[in-house]
């Protein structure tokens, strides 16, 4: 794999547009101007400017808006989707792996891929909210890509990105929007991005593929990189959008005004990382929500339905990874005998009642369902049509379609832990299966080694 860290580069059009928008705004450009005093510490002045923008909340907000405006521009979208080109690569999804693929591909000398995103905001899972609502799992460290346990490596590293997550905050654990900003800058530099474009089907079209949408004509491409991510909440869950929310709906609520107004008793169902992030939001140990204050809105009781979690503070300390230790303190009574958090060791299925939700006879103002995901539907790209894809050295980095020029990357490739990952202890934490540190280098290696599309 080539060294993909850009020492200096010409800003692509969306980055130029972002810089111009910020520079024209005296208040938004304060961080950018201040950071120029330290530009000698950066590989290039551009990276100093982008770091300054990222570190200034208003600068970052203006920059984010500039990117959304650029990517949603109607005529630009039509020009990109209006032509069928069999020599281009299309990436489905605009998350971390789309950005890794695009950055490595371009820095390896290939043309920019076209990235298609169904949502109106590019950036994938970490961009599910515009304001910070949850923290990442791995500590914020400078350094290049590496594996868990490597103190010299950054586990939130995006190969080839104009700036890294370690540039955009010094908190012990970065927020989702810190990582989203890095992903979005990488996409802006190395991809053509079109938002609000939902891919419905992929079919064979000569040596290439036809891509079908629900609301417009098909387009052609030479290769598809399927980076759909972890998918949507399981459709079997009982979320009603008001008193029972799926995890992404809850995060969206946490990014709005007074998100916990009227919530005194809450429940969380599920024991994975999403559930832990939801519990942190209720306890007040997640990123500070916009316009929320303890004097106004405090959740007094949280029941957490899961049969996989420790129920006492001591067991929590022993069994749960460092990132989530703050939750454990709430699993014991305070000195007045009040305990806010209770783990209920059974599975639950809530029922929506008018204005509340019911679980096992208990009523709640709000219930959050964190019970797993199901991949989004695209005809022609079902998992059964893909086999593992290896590099010449035998390392499995993606999945390849059996007859279409299509590859699945990232968690969407569903690659099992390798014997080496088991030996190294990476498989000891189940959530590492989808961690960026595990999957980023695989996607980068694919992007660096695939032949030009016409030769498939």
Ligand X SMILES: Cc1cc2nc3c(=O)[nH]c(=O)nc-3n(C[C@H](O)[C@H](O)[C@H](O)COP(=O)(O)OP(=O)(O)OC[C@H]3O[C@@H](n4cnc5c(N)ncnc54)[C@H](O)[C@@H]3O)c2cc1C
Site residues (CB under 6 A) for ligand X?
92-98, 116-119, 124-125, 134, 136-138, 198-199, 227-230, 273-274, 277, 376, 378, 410-412, 434-436
In whole angstroms, give the CA distance from residue 246 to residue 238. 8
Structure tokens at 308: 């996989």
Q: Which is nearer to ligand X, 116 or 185 (CB)?
A: 116
Cross-sheet strand order for the sheet of 351-353: 351-353, 356-359, 362-364
Question: What DSSP letter does each residue of 349-382 carry, written as one string?
Answer: --EEETTEEEETTEEESEEEE---EEPPP-BT--
Question: What DSSP letter does each residue of 401-432 carry, written as one string?
Answer: ESSSSEEE-GGGG-PPPPHHHHHTTGGGSGGG
For residues 427 and 60, the answer to whether their CB atoms sit within 8 Å is no
Q: Which is nearer to ligand X, 19 or 398 (CB)?
A: 398
Give the closest residue to 211 by CA, choosing from 367, 30, 347, 378: 378
Q: Which is nearer to ligand X, 379 or 423 (CB)?
A: 379
Give the closest residue to 138 by CA, choosing from 271, 317, 288, 321: 321
| Shortest spacing between CB 313 and ligand X, in angstroms | 24
Q: Which is nearer to ligand X, 46 or 90 (CB)?
A: 90
Question: What DSSP letter does each residue of 84-121 carry, written as one string?
Answer: --TT-EEEE--SHHHHHHHHHHHHTTPPPPEEE-SSSS
Q: Which is nearer to ligand X, 218 or 376 (CB)?
A: 376
Q: Which is nearer to ligand X, 84 or 198 (CB)?
A: 198
Q: Which is nearer to ligand X, 114 or 199 (CB)?
A: 199
| Shortest spacing between CB 412 and ligand X, in angstroms | 6
**Gap between the terminal Cα atoms of the chain:** 20
| Shortest spacing between CB 440 and ligand X, in angstroms | 8
| Shortest spacing between CB 72 and ligand X, in angstroms | 14
Angle at the Cα of 231 from the Cα atoms of 440 and 183, rounded to 5 degrees: 40
Cross-sheet strand order for the sheet of 265-269: 244-246, 366-369, 265-269, 301-305, 341-344
Q: Count CA atoms closer than 13 A to 452's CA, side-chain side.
A: 7
Q: Which is nearer to ligand X, 138 or 177 (CB)?
A: 138
């Amino acid at each position: 794999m080539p060294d993909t860290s850009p020492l200096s580069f010409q800003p692509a059009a969306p980055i130029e547009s972002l810089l111009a928008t910020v520079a024209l705004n005296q208040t938004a450009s304060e961080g950018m101007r201040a950071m120029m005093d330290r530009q000698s510490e950066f590989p290039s002045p551009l990276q100093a400017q982008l770091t300054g923008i990222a570190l200034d909340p208003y600068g970052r907000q203006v920059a984010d808006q500039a990117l959304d405006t650029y990517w949603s521009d109607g005529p630009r979208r039509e020009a990109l989707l209006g032509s069928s080109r069999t020599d281009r690569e299309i990436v489905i999804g605009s998350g971390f792996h789309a950005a890794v693929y695009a950055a490595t591909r371009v820095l390896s000398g290939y043309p920019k891929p076209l990235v298609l995103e169904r949502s109106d905001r590019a950036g994938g899972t970490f961009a599910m909210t515009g304001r910070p609502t949850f923290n990442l799992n791995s500590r914020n460290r400078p350094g290049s890509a590496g594996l868990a346990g490597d103190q010299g490596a950054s586990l939130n590293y995006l190969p080839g990105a104009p700036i890294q997550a370690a540039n955009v905050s010094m908190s012990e654990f970065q927020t989702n929007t810190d990582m989203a900003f890095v992903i979005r800058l990488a996409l802006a530099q190395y991809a053509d991005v079109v938002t609000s474009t939902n891919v419905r089907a992929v079919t064979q079209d000569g040596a290439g593929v036809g891509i079908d949408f629900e609301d417009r004509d098909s387009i052609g491409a030479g290769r598809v990189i399927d980076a759909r991510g972890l998918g949507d909440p399981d459709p079997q869950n009982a979320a009603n959008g008001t008193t029972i929310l799926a995890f992404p709906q809850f995060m969206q609520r946490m990014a709005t005004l007074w998100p916990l107004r009227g919530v005194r008793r809450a429940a969380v169902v599920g024991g994975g990382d999403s559930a832990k992030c939801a519990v942190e939001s209720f306890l007040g140990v997640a990123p500070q929500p916009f316009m929320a204050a303890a004097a106004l809105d405090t959740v007094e009781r949280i029941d957490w339905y899961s049969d996989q979690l420790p129920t006492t503070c001591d067991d929590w300390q022993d069994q749960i990874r460092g990132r989530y230790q703050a939750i454990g303190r709430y699993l014991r009574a305070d000195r007045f005998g009040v305990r806010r958090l209770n783990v209920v060791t059974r599975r639950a299925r809530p029922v929506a009642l008018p204005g509340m939700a019911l679980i096992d006879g208990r009523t709640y103002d709000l219930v959050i369902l964190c019970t797993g995901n199901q991949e989004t539907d695209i005809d022609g790209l079902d998992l059964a049509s893909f086999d593992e894809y290896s590099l010449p050295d035998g390392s499995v980095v993606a999945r390849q379609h059996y007859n279409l020029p299509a590859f699945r990357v990232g968690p969407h490739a569903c690659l099992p832990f390798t014997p080496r990952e088991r030996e190294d202890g990476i498989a000891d934490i189940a959530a590492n299966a989808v961690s960026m540190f595990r999957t980023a280098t695989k996607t980068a290696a694919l992007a660096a080694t695939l032949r030009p599309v016409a030769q498939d």
